[in-house]
Structure 1
Amino acid sequence: MSGPLLLLDLPWLLYRAHFALPSSIEGADGRPIGALLGAIRAILAEIEEHDPAAVCVATGAEDATHRTALLPAYHAHRDPMPDALRHRWEQAPELCAAFGWAVRDGGDLEADDVIATLARRRSAHGGRSAIVTGDRDLLACVDARTVVRRPAGRGPGLVTVDEDGVRDALGVAPDQVTDLIALRGDPSDGIPGVPGIGAKTAARLLARHGDLEGVLRAAGAEGPGGEPGEDPQLGDGLTARLATTLREHAADARRDRAVALLHEADVAAVPDRATDRAAGADAAEALGMGRLAADLRKA
């Protein structure tokens, strides 16, 4: 059986490496190069871990316009990209391509949308995928053929999250992750969720009522088309007070679900291809990453 498609969230890897490695690590141009060095080493480590049939790094808009149109607060709390990182950000796709890795850009969509699109296509055709990201929304892509590699905590290591792992971590199935975000919110993305609903309450409500619309119906909220609500079905975390809150915030919850929902991106398929370590070493050396280049040539 061939290895999985390795799908990597390049923006997340670059940000993570930029802030993890000291700015004293400089490239041939005298500028900090930790973002590139750390991201490439992380990708190479995942290749060793998974022996993939193909590698794809995903990029895209920092903020998808349809999401900011729905929710102006989406990503609004984030600091602007540091200038030192932006310089390496622009170099990253070409460097990755030198290794023979596919680079897929989502245009107006985000890297998460690209990754979700490619993982779902691969799974539909009977293939496997391993997604490397720190974003919670991509846990919605986990299925029998798709896993997510994400941080275990504050350390540098990553853990593999399968279907059971999603249930253990969040208390819901992967196909309920987007509904969970709509109810509890996602502070990292600026998605507020419904006031007074935390992760455990959201998971209990989804366990009983299936999805966001089921929860809202149980609370007596109007349907998405303005259909009249029914008497609340209290229990399993749904109190009279919470039912009132859900009715008052039903439109907000539906909006937040639309913001968290991963969209189909117009990107080309990723052909199977081995990593070109020699070409990658040459490209790394040209940027001033001599030790990385030497390690690649020794392997």
Structure 2
Amino acid sequence: MPGPLLLLDVPWLLYRAHFALPSSIAGADGEPIGALLGTVRTILLEVQELDPVAVVCATGAEEAVHRTALLPAYHAHREPMPDALRRRWEQAPDLLRAFGWSVRDGGDLEADDVMATLARRHVEEDPDATAAIATADRDLLACVGERVVARRPPAKGQGPGFVTVDVDGVRELLGVEPGQVTDLIALRGDPSDGIPGAPGIGAKTAARLLAAHGDLEGVLRAAGAPGPDGEPGGAPVHGDGLTPRLAAVLREHAAEVRRDREVARLVEADVEPVAPGTTDREGGAAAAEALGMTRLAAELRGEG
């Protein structure tokens, strides 16, 4: 059976590697090159581990236009991209293509939307196909299913490389089903993205409410909140973690949590399909060498 379609969150990989590797690791231009080096090494490890049918390197906007229109605070707390990283960011697509990997850019959408779109299409088009999404972003756990897994950094002490998170893994991590992840983010928020959520509702409470009431609209109905079209709410149904105080909070902030659900929701990206392909180690070695990553180039050629 062919391996999964491997989809990688390139912006996350670049940021992760840039801050993890010493700035003393310089490229041919004398500037830090850890972002590219770490990203490529991570992808090569994933290729070795999963033997994918194809590799997709997803890129896109730092924040999608429609998300900042809905929530101006979305990503607003993040520091500007360092100049040293931006240079490597611009070089990354050509380097990744040199390895024979497909690069797909979301335009005004984010890499997350690209990965969600291509993973869904891949498994819908072939009943035997599988996909693996490599990212640390919580929102992409909504994509996990019978034939789609996430690949995430391990917990402390689990060793190098990424670990696979399947449906049971989502339940263990977040306490909800994959189909409830977007609603969980709407209720509890996501500080890494600047999504506020409902005041005073943390991860465990949000998961308990969703377990009791099914989805965000079910939680809001139980709280007595007005419906999405403005129809009056009913009497609150307390219990299963929905206290009178939380019900009042949800009634007051119903519009905001519905907005946050739309901010967190992954949307369809207009991207080209991906054909099966293999890793071109020689092409990657030549590109790596040109950028000054000579040790990596030697390893790719079997010389290191």
Q: Same fold (TM over 0.5)?
A: yes
Q: Does 1:262 align with 2:266?
A: yes
Q: In the alignment, what sits opposite 1:235?
A: 239
- Measure, in 1, the Cα distance between the counterparts of 2:248 and 2:189: 18
Q: Secondary structure of the residue that 1:166 maps to in structure 2?
A: helix
- Measure, in 1, the Cα distance between the counterparts of 2:2 and 2:164: 19
* Structure 2 counterparts to residues 137-176 of structure 1, below 5 A: 137-153=139-155, 157-176=161-180
Q: In the alignment, what sits opposite 1:43?
A: 43
Q: In the alignment, what sits opposite 2:97?
A: 97
- Measure, in 2, the Cα distance between the counterparts of 1:154 and 1:13: 19
Alpha-carbon shift at residue 89 of structure 1 (Å):
0.3
- Measure, in 1, the Cα distance between the counterparts of 2:169 and 2:152: 11
Q: Is the 8 A contact 2:45 2:161 kept in 1?
A: no
Q: Which amino acid aligns with 1:136?
A: R
Matched residues, number: 299
Q: Does 1:187 align with 2:160?
A: no
- Measure, in 2, the Cα distance between the counterparts of 1:268 and 1:157: 29
Q: In the alignment, what sits opposite 2:116?
A: 116
- Measure, in 2, the Cα distance between the counterparts of 1:282 and 1:154: 35
Alpha-carbon shift at residue 24 of structure 1 (Å):
0.5
- Measure, in 1, the Cα distance between the counterparts of 2:99 and 2:161: 23
Q: Does 1:285 align with 2:289?
A: yes
Alpha-carbon shift at residue 122 of structure 1 (Å):
1.1
Q: In the alignment, what sits opposite 1:132?
A: 134
Q: In the alignment, what sits opposite 1:107?
A: 107
* Structure 2 counterparts to residues 200-239 of structure 1, below 5 A: 200-239=204-243
- Measure, in 2, the Cα distance between the counterparts of 1:223 and 1:123: 34
Structure 1's consecutive aligned runs of 4 or more residues displaced over 4 angstroms after TM superposition are: none
Alpha-carbon shift at residue 220 of structure 1 (Å):
0.4
Q: Which amino acid aligns with 1:277?
A: R
Alpha-carbon shift at residue 154 of structure 1 (Å):
5.5
- Measure, in 2, the Cα distance between the counterparts of 1:190 and 1:144: 30
Q: Which amino acid aligns with 1:249?
A: H
- Measure, in 1, the Cα distance between the counterparts of 2:78 and 2:278: 36
Q: Which amino acid aligns with 1:173?
A: E
Alpha-carbon shift at residue 158 of structure 1 (Å):
2.0
Segments of structure 1 that go 5 or more residues without pairing to the other structure are: none
Q: Secondary structure of the residue that 2:301 maps to in structure 1?
A: helix
Task: Map Cα deviations across residues 248-283 of structure 1 (whole Å, 9 max, x no partner).
Answer: 000000000000000000001110001111111001
Q: Does 1:78 align with 2:82?
A: no
Q: In the alignment, what sits opposite 1:296?
A: 300
- Measure, in 2, the Cα distance between the counterparts of 1:92 and 1:130: 21
Segments of structure 2 that go 5 or more residues without pairing to the other structure are: none
Alpha-carbon shift at residue 228 of structure 1 (Å):
1.1
TM-score normalised to structure 1 length: 0.98
Q: Which amino acid aligns with 1:145?
A: R
Task: Map Cα deviations across residues 212-249 of structure 1 (whole Å, 9 max, x no partner).
Answer: 00000000000000111011111111011110110000
- Measure, in 2, the Cα distance between the counterparts of 1:224 and 1:124: 31
Q: Which amino acid aligns with 1:213?
A: E
Task: Map Cα deviations across residues 28-81 of structure 1 (whole Å, 9 max, x no partner).
Answer: 111110000000000000000100010000000001010001111100110000
Task: Map Cα deviations across residues 70-102 of structure 1 (whole Å, 9 max, x no partner).
Answer: 111100110000000000000000000000100
Q: Which amino acid aligns with 2:154?
A: A
Cα RMSD for the two superposed structures? 1.0
- Measure, in 1, the Cα distance between the counterparts of 2:295 and 2:47: 19
Moved more, 156-165 or 195-204: 156-165
- Measure, in 1, the Cα distance between the counterparts of 2:67 and 2:138: 16
